[in-house]
Structure 1
Amino acid sequence: MLAALVIAFFIFASLYTDYAWFAQLGFQQVLTTRWIAGTLMFLAGFLGMAVPVYASIAIAFRFRPVYAKLNSQLDRYQQVIEPLRRAVMIGIPVVLGIFAGLSTAGRWSMVLEYFNRTPFGKTDPQFGLDIGFYVFELPFWRSIVAYSSAVVLIAGLAALAACYLYGAMRFGGREVRISKAARVQLAITAAVYIALQAVSLWLDQYAALTKSNSLITGAQYTEVNAVIPGREIMAGIAAIVAILFIVTAVIGRWRISIVGTGLLLVAAIVIGGIYPWIVQRLQVKPSERTFESAYIERNIKATRDAYGVSGVQEQNYDATTEASSGALAQDAQTTANIRLIDPKIVSDTFSQLQQYRQYYQFPDELDVDRYDVKGETEDTVIAVRDIDLDGLSSQANTPYNRAFVYTHGYGVTAAFGNQRASDGKPVFLESGIPSNGALGDFQQRVYFGETSPAYSIVGAPKGSKNVELDYPSGSDDDNGGNATTTYAGNGGPSLGNFFNRLVYAAKFQSEQILLSDAVNKDSQILYDRDPIARVQKVAPYLTTDSDAYPAIVDHRIQWVVDGYTTSDAYPYSQSQSLSDSIAGAESSAYRTDQVNYIRNSVKATVDAYTGKVTLYSWDTKDPVLKTWQKIFPTSVKPVSQMSAQLLDHVRYPTDLFKVQRSILGTYHVTNANSFYSGDDAWNTPQEPTSGTNDTSDTADTSTTTNSGTNALGTTTTPRANLQDPYYLTMKVPGQGTAYTLYTTYIPQQSAGANNRNVLTGYLAVDSDAGGAGKGKKGSGYGKLTLLTMPKTDNIPGPAQVQNLFNSDTTVSQELNILKRGNSTVKQGNLLTLPVGGGFLYVQPVYVQSTSSGSYPLLQKVLVAFGDKIAFEDTLDEALNSLFGGDSGAAAGDQGAAGGSDSGSGSGSGSSDSGSSDSGSSDSGSTGGSSDSGSTGGSTGTVDNEALQKALNDAKQALQDRQDAYADNDLVAAAEADQRLQDAIQAATEAENGN
């Protein structure tokens, strides 16, 4: 009894704290609706199973033959069961009912969608029914039929067992004797079951439109002309057989119903199996393209509609490969905004320069955004300085400190994406702690972040001593040089009374919550603090984007989260796995659900200080969102309430774009015959830097992944390390300059084939949602543009360009020299830009010391246009070198190589992270054209003695440079830089035998 009370209390504590959490956020309607719907579904499932099973057993027992002569074995069974009969008759239905109730309770969302369904306004091409029938109604009815079939089957088996046990059914040789009452009961049960199978067969014809086949998703020729008519015929036969069982119940003859059942089984084999096989193998297969073309067209149209790519604007792009002088003059704005700072590499740089304490941290991959700085919109790399309790020292890592002192992160750090300091550090536009710079005044405390503790207890009466550590101030006071604060927001449920403390102590299994005198009448408990988790909790119908990004909006740090409505029941739309589509370079598959419809229906924000979650209706035409707005009418706000500042930071979501690029790789082809042949199918390129960077900081390329399969079933290359799409401010041909998300395509890659890595397509989407004022989306937002290359052209793809970089003699020698010293080299994201009438590739090159506390510094830039490359200290120099001495436009890092120091904030990283000059000022040409940066190869004999001396000199220069920066001796650092440059030049000459 005591154990039951304890269990009940913990269950109550879980429910109570859930309600308190939702109520504090103002989303209690979401929770109560789920509770009510789940409870009703449980009761329906419980009663729907328990009552029929109990009734079936009770009827069999009630009409048992009282004077029937039983054999000795059945007599013994009755003697054993009789004392427990009532318990068994009630217990079995109750247990079965509980399992059924738990199963149906989880289907609450499907039922609510059915009763609040919204038409799509589009019909399927086979039956002419609204798409909403397949998304909302068909799953409901199929579930009802499946559940009812299970109930009737179990009830029938229970009746059969009771009839046998009590003598209503007896076996004697070849005869089976059944009492009249048992005959009626069993025959009616069989009739109901087979009638349900007739309904199931009838519904199956509609389900054929969402079934994945070997060629496409949706009914093909065989399904339309053999399977679907067969289902209709079999449903009719099943209905007749059900009637025959009713006749058996009335006249007492089993033969007609048994014969009917046999005919149904024969029909299932012939009509449902053999006939469709004959049609497929003998009629369709020899001329598959002809027979399936009409159904492929259905699949193409439905797929493009369901994934939101039907409006993509395609245009031919006859890209040149000639890097002529002044070629970038028409793309000056794009060139000036080329991002050099790689958010996947510079996390360590941010940490060493801006982290300040071990209990803070920056994410492994930073975010990109754009901000208005002095009247100009600048692409930025930004990160929140979040709290990290794992960084606490053993002395500070106490339960009290974890709950009451180290409660929040502080501030953001942001750097210009297109600039670098002379020493390779980022140029920060917001830095320090408290942070200051171009982003203005804003609430800097981060109580709700991606690494926030499981729970923190905050708040105190006015006049109480501050106990929360705010930020390191450097002052000499009683707080050990730390500023302190007390939380003044409304971010969590109250702990102001004993009862709340008790239930939360039970929830978190922490006696500290109940007993600590630090908990007071104004205390709040903050938990479930991850921005994505908070959105998922208040909007359970959404699939959220894998990345929440911070933005300074209206003087607050807001986490922006994209929410998707999805379905797997859009007729004829191609089904695919989100995990396969979304998995990118250095990412893992985190979702496995199959979908064939997706919309970015909701934009959500989470306030980093208060934890407030706000949902905005972004796709107002989405029928799935409209349905859920009927279910939770107060949870989603209209887009008109979005502030202009928030809209300025809304962007086209990466995960949706990855799904769409996967679809368009195949479905850019709209001709059924071309689609069937598959000769114009595309793939997203693999991440070109995999395996080129030092293994300590690159993706694990040994991870085993499954191969992908295109719509035609062709085996393709693994998808787990695809190149990421990138955000850049640029001008796409045919459009104006905009904040853009883009990706590239290459021909479809097949295992074991001689695959070509030339560029076949370039997909870009306008990501500028702002600029039109409060509540108004940017006019170009979401516009998809697909550039297609002439099939006769050989435009180098990312892998080919990376190979050009890595195989170039001078580049390879300089990089190898740096790697042999006390440094490692990291090649950053390879960007592709449609400028100069062709495609410009840009890749930053970072150098990092192997010593403790070091961080990557941007030291060189690789660029390519066609087959020509250049390798210089700055992007501006590289572009001029590449385009005949004058590119016609200035890059954002123009003049960065000439200064003496960086624009970074303070930090403690090692400064020997690499050479600031690792090659001659031209592109290092040894035999090619002087403006191309290409090489003619080494022709001399290596002078090993001179090479070793040069390497030793380079190593010493690197060490001297490190020491000089540590001493803040810029003169000595510059002298060491010059010696390093001379040493590299000497090593290059020695290796070439000069």
Structure 2
Amino acid sequence: MNAWKRWLLILGAGIVGLNIILLAASFFSVNLLVDFWWFDSLGYGFYFLQRLFYRYVVLILVTLFFFLVFFLNFWVASRYLGTTESSSEDNKSDRVNKDLLQMFRTGSMRVYSPLSVLLGILVAWPLFEQWEKFLLYIFGPSMGVKDPVFSKDISYYLFSYPIYTLIQRRLLLAFFLLLAAMLLLYWLEKRLLSQQDQNIPAGAKRHLSILILIIFFIEIWHYALQAYGLLYSSNHQTLFFGPGFVEMWITFPLICQTFIFLMGTAFSLIFFIHKHKGLKVLIAFAVLFLLSFGARYSPFLPNLVEKYIVKPNEISREKPFIIRNIESTLAAYNLTDVETRDFSPERVPTNLLDSPTIKAELRNIPVWDGELLEDVYNQLQKLRTYYDFAPVDVGRYTVNNNYQQVFLAARELDQKQLPEGARNWVNQHLTYTHGYGAVMTPASQGGDEPLTWFLHGIPPISDYGFSIEQPGIYHGLGTYNYSIAPNDAGEFDYPKGNTNALTNYTGTGGVPLASIFKKLLFSYYFMDRDIFFTTKTNRNSRILFRQNIVERIKTLTPYFLLDKDPYLVVTKKNLFWIQDAYVTSSMYPYAAPYSTIDGQFNYIRNSVKIVVDAYNGTVDYYVFDLKDPIIQAYRYIYPGVFKSKESMPSDLLQQTRYPRDLFDIQMSIYAKYQQRDPEVFYQQEDMWEPAKTYQGKEVSSIKPYYLTLDLIDPKRFDFLLLAPMSPKGRDNLRALALAGCDPPYYGKIIVYNFPKGELIYGPPQISALINQDTTIAQQFTLWDQIGSRVALGKMIILPVGKVIIYIQPVYLKASAELKIPELKRLIMSQGQIVVMERSLEDAYAKLQERIKAEIERVDTRFAPLMPGAPPPEEGLSPHVEQ
């Protein structure tokens, strides 16, 4: 190839390569700049720079550390290389080797500096990817709780142990690479020196000895870390989690033994290399190390001990380890302080339902299902096709001076429902920018009654004192395109008669879009040229994106696990969303793990509640658990980001609640670990599970649900989360667990235990009694014949006095295409007696009447016989009404 062609090819390849680099750099820089603008629009510009700074400081520092490790060792090696000059008699290969060694000898930056940088980055990169763990390691505070085996603070396992494990692996790799490189270089040097009857300098031996010793010490550190790693043993996980007898009495001593023999081998090897003495000691230590190493990793000895020592006496051998597992697991899931109360329901009560607070309780029973109520909201309050209701939330508000449990939902914009002809750029990005308002209904209602609306309509209307100053919803749970607001095209606000009311966005959300430069960058960012060419923007225009609140929060704080149910709060000022966030770890020693689709963890705290303004999009973080060391570490890392609970506005604070997902996780763990006695735990004879319910032939677990009851303090009503529990594999009830949502009982968990030897009806058994009731069955058949379909709601279990009552809502759905669920009847049962009425009050009165009649009948049946009265017929038993 001609020289000019070769240069032309090189030039062309260079131009292409440069363009690729510039394109990648420009895309990265645009993303970075847009992210900064977005973070800064929320008041988190400094936080964004902090995260960027921390990330690259970790990369620089870790890379610098490994660079110095390689560079200094190469520099030391250069002192002992290239000590002879090349002669004309040397062959070509030797001259190349000598030239290379001479470059090291003269400290050539062209060789070992770039080589050290390259090796440093390669070794450091996995540590850089864990940069946030380094920050937690640096800033993580003490937890004040020690592990039950090594008496180290739990914070060591949460923050230090994971980092030490990472560092140990990378150090071992780095020094193995160094040792291999040094051996190669010194071997080449020795080969050259041997031709001139010269010996390699003694310093080279010392250098290699130090490297070997360092590698030994790094591996010794590995065995020390292995001892702590035993606390995460899963060998007994079908029964308990963590190390047992074999791990602590066999494996741990073998680790210690291997540790000692490896250290002895290291020192005896160095002594032998330099003194040429102590070979027998070296061999002895090496053999002992190999034997210990083999025993450590061989299953023979552990299996032998397990089979002949542990299994025949398992409960006595494993008892102390089971106790540690129980205590650690309860602590890790914040279940140590669960209060238990005994509850013995009366089977044939003498004073059933005479509770003076029953009317208040019935007023707050959530007879609607959220899924069915969402259909009702969409049919009756959607009003336009382009609106949609987010999942229905539950809350509590003071209505007419009554503490009232309610359902509510936000009316969000759904652009996918716009008519096809209206799906143009202007409508999707300038006109239809937001949802509007919310609806609210009481939790309780009677059958065949019109639905009461506490808040409804567009604009929002309320006869119960609710008002919203700014009902616009620019940020919610829906799927959002980016929006530009305000703009000269005008934003659709809400339908008004035969016209539409328009508005101009005056909030603080989004990034200002006043300059040509920003329009150009956002056109590139969204790959949408219309952003740049539109003439409908003005100096006040802002581009709103990441409007889905979950995406918004995950972009800001990706290190939190988010609850699946963010909920709406109505205030006089705006609509707000509250999102519960969790900190988790899989490194709590001796604690049983819990698996989700997001991963596995064995420590969880609801340390943060996040408030998102539906209009402005502001995101505020409030700390609710100051005892959690992980959130404390994040507060130190990012000062000013996490606010105190006390600074939350009062109208939002009173709407916070104990999160359902967390309580569900806790009860899944507690179902097993409520067996605090190690012998009972070993036998697993009192295992629980969430109570089951049947929808047709489908079986599902009852998720925790919110109620307003006086179960925490009989003198007051509290909004609480209730979870019915059954014995594992059975349908009857074993316990009712509840978590308080109102101060001062927020987060307090109480478990009402039912006697093990008594049958307390569970939802499936009550469903069977309902299906067997001839009056109810006839009514259901009649409804099914008139073009409707009967749907049963979720069963509610309600402790009243010394009785458990069960409430089952009955809905009708039309068979036609338009299906608006209608609450028709309410079934109430005490367990033996079933009634169905139009309202809870009527059902309560009817149930009370039937039970009193049952009591009188039983009393009459078993009263002392009058003189001359015939004895009762043999085998006759009390009749149980259904």
Range of TM-score over shorter length: 0.7 to 0.9
Counterpart in the other structure of 2:491 = 468
Counterpart in the other structure of 1:205 = 227
Counterpart in the other structure of 1:453 = 480
C-alpha separation in 2, matches of 1:281 and 1:886: 59
1:495 maps to which of 493, 513, 536: 513
SS of 1:436 mapped into structure 2 = coil
Counterpart in the other structure of 2:12 = none
Counterpart in the other structure of 1:129 = 152
Say if 2:142 is the partner of 1:119: yes
Query: Cα RMSD (Å) of the superposition?
Result: 3.7
Q: Aligned residues, how many?
A: 822
Counterpart in the other structure of 1:268 = 293
C-alpha separation in 2, matches of 1:822 and 1:155: 82
Say if 2:707 is the partner of 1:728: yes
Counterpart in the other structure of 2:750 = 785
Deviation per CA, 1:211-251, whole angstroms, max 9, x where unpaired? 44414233333333232333222222222223244335535
Counterpart in the other structure of 2:769 = 804
C-alpha separation in 2, matches of 1:523 and 1:100: 48
Counterpart in the other structure of 1:992 = none
CA gap of 1:325–1:850, structure 2 versus 1, over 3 A, is: farther
Say if 2:560 is the partner of 1:542: yes
C-alpha separation in 1, matches of 2:177 and 2:283: 20
1:875 maps to which of 829, 837, 840: 840
CA gap of 1:501–1:240, structure 2 versus 1, over 3 A, is: farther
1:759 maps to which of 709, 733, 738: 733
Asked if the contact 1:192–1:242 (Cα under 8 Å) also holds between the matched residues in 2, the reply is no
Say if 2:727 is the partner of 1:747: yes
Counterpart in the other structure of 1:625 = 631
Say if 2:379 is the partner of 1:362: no
SS of 2:654 mapped into structure 1 = helix
Asked if the contact 1:53–1:154 (Cα under 8 Å) also holds between the matched residues in 2, the reply is no
Asked if the contact 1:306–1:596 (Cα under 8 Å) also holds between the matched residues in 2, the reply is yes
Counterpart in the other structure of 2:216 = 194
Counterpart in the other structure of 2:375 = 348
TM-superposed CA distance for 1:454, in Å, is 3.5
Q: Which moved more, 1:224-233 or 1:252-261?
A: 252-261
Counterpart in the other structure of 2:858 = none
Say if 2:361 is the partner of 1:339: no
Say if 2:244 is the partner of 1:227: no
TM-superposed CA distance for 1:382, in Å, is 0.4
TM-superposed CA distance for 1:91, in Å, is 7.5
C-alpha separation in 2, matches of 1:263 and 1:817: 85
Counterpart in the other structure of 2:420 = 394
C-alpha separation in 2, matches of 1:852 and 1:254: 93
CA gap of 1:217–1:250, structure 2 versus 1, over 3 A, is: same
C-alpha separation in 2, matches of 1:741 and 1:368: 11
CA gap of 1:102–1:862, structure 2 versus 1, over 3 A, is: farther
C-alpha separation in 2, matches of 1:232 and 1:126: 15
C-alpha separation in 1, matches of 2:837 and 2:58: 67
SS of 1:305 mapped into structure 2 = helix
Asked if the contact 1:63–1:181 (Cα under 8 Å) also holds between the matched residues in 2, the reply is no
User: What amino acid sits opposite 1:648 in the alignment?
Assistant: Q
Asked if the contact 1:314–1:786 (Cα under 8 Å) also holds between the matched residues in 2, the reply is yes
C-alpha separation in 2, matches of 1:157 and 1:236: 26
C-alpha separation in 2, matches of 1:94 and 1:521: 49
TM-superposed CA distance for 1:58, in Å, is 8.4
Asked if the contact 1:545–1:561 (Cα under 8 Å) also holds between the matched residues in 2, the reply is yes
Structure 1, gaps ≥5 residues long: 170-176, 476-480, 580-589, 693-700, 702-720, 750-755, 769-777, 889-928, 935-994
TM-superposed CA distance for 1:133, in Å, is 1.9
TM-superposed CA distance for 1:404, in Å, is 1.1
C-alpha separation in 2, matches of 1:429 and 1:253: 93
Deviation per CA, 1:268-288, whole angstroms, max 9, x where unpaired? 122554544443332222211
Asked if the contact 1:320–1:866 (Cα under 8 Å) also holds between the matched residues in 2, the reply is no
C-alpha separation in 2, matches of 1:421 and 1:863: 13
1:292 maps to which of 318, 323, 331: 318
Asked if the contact 2:254–2:295 (Cα under 8 Å) also holds between the matched residues in 1, the reply is no
Counterpart in the other structure of 2:460 = 435
Q: Which moved more, 1:529-538 or 1:601-610?
A: 529-538
Asked if the contact 1:324–1:884 (Cα under 8 Å) also holds between the matched residues in 2, the reply is no
Counterpart in the other structure of 2:42 = 25
C-alpha separation in 1, matches of 2:201 and 2:731: 77
User: What amino acid sits opposite 2:794 in the alignment?
Assistant: N
CA gap of 1:167–1:883, structure 2 versus 1, over 3 A, is: farther
TM-superposed CA distance for 1:55, in Å, is 6.9
Counterpart in the other structure of 1:985 = none
C-alpha separation in 2, matches of 1:930 and 1:434: 60
Q: TM-score, normalised by structure 1?
A: 0.76
Q: Which moved more, 1:30-39 or 1:274-283?
A: 274-283
2:574 maps to which of 519, 532, 556: 556
C-alpha separation in 1, matches of 2:97 and 2:697: 73
Asked if the contact 1:53–1:155 (Cα under 8 Å) also holds between the matched residues in 2, the reply is yes
Higher relative contact order (CA closer than 8 Å, sequence separation 6+): 1
User: What amino acid sits opposite 1:203 in the alignment?
Assistant: L
C-alpha separation in 2, matches of 1:762 and 1:625: 31
Counterpart in the other structure of 1:608 = 614
Pairs within 5 Å for 1:793-942: 793-816=758-781, 818-819=783-784, 822-885=787-850, 934=882
TM-superposed CA distance for 1:795, in Å, is 0.6
C-alpha separation in 2, matches of 1:681 and 1:178: 72
C-alpha separation in 2, matches of 1:145 and 1:434: 63
User: What amino acid sits opposite 2:471 in the alignment?
Assistant: Q
TM-superposed CA distance for 1:181, in Å, is 8.6
SS of 2:242 mapped into structure 1 = coil
Asked if the contact 2:81–2:186 (Cα under 8 Å) also holds between the matched residues in 1, the reply is no
SS of 2:371 mapped into structure 1 = coil
TM-superposed CA distance for 1:517, in Å, is 1.7
C-alpha separation in 1, matches of 2:704 and 2:726: 14
CA gap of 1:63–1:216, structure 2 versus 1, over 3 A, is: farther
SS of 1:344 mapped into structure 2 = helix
TM-superposed CA distance for 1:348, in Å, is 1.2
Counterpart in the other structure of 2:874 = none
Structure 2, gaps ≥5 residues long: 1-17, 193-198, 854-876
C-alpha separation in 2, matches of 1:406 and 1:691: 44
CA gap of 1:154–1:520, structure 2 versus 1, over 3 A, is: farther
C-alpha separation in 2, matches of 1:620 and 1:57: 49
Counterpart in the other structure of 1:955 = none
Counterpart in the other structure of 1:636 = 642
Asked if the contact 2:579–2:610 (Cα under 8 Å) also holds between the matched residues in 1, the reply is yes
C-alpha separation in 2, matches of 1:690 and 1:35: 54
SS of 1:132 mapped into structure 2 = helix
Deviation per CA, 1:798-827, whole angstroms, max 9, x where unpaired? 222233334545544543554465333322
CA gap of 1:318–1:733, structure 2 versus 1, over 3 A, is: farther
SS of 1:487 mapped into structure 2 = coil
2:451 maps to which of 418, 422, 426: 426
SS of 2:789 mapped into structure 1 = strand
| Structure whose alpha-carbon radius of gyration is higher | 2
Asked if the contact 1:56–1:158 (Cα under 8 Å) also holds between the matched residues in 2, the reply is no
Counterpart in the other structure of 2:7 = none
Counterpart in the other structure of 1:518 = 536
User: What amino acid sits opposite 1:313 in the alignment?
Assistant: E
C-alpha separation in 2, matches of 1:628 and 1:428: 43
Overall identity of the aligned pairs, in %: 28
Counterpart in the other structure of 1:142 = 165
Asked if the contact 1:457–1:524 (Cα under 8 Å) also holds between the matched residues in 2, the reply is yes
CA gap of 1:261–1:518, structure 2 versus 1, over 3 A, is: farther
TM-superposed CA distance for 1:347, in Å, is 0.9
C-alpha separation in 2, matches of 1:931 and 1:30: 71
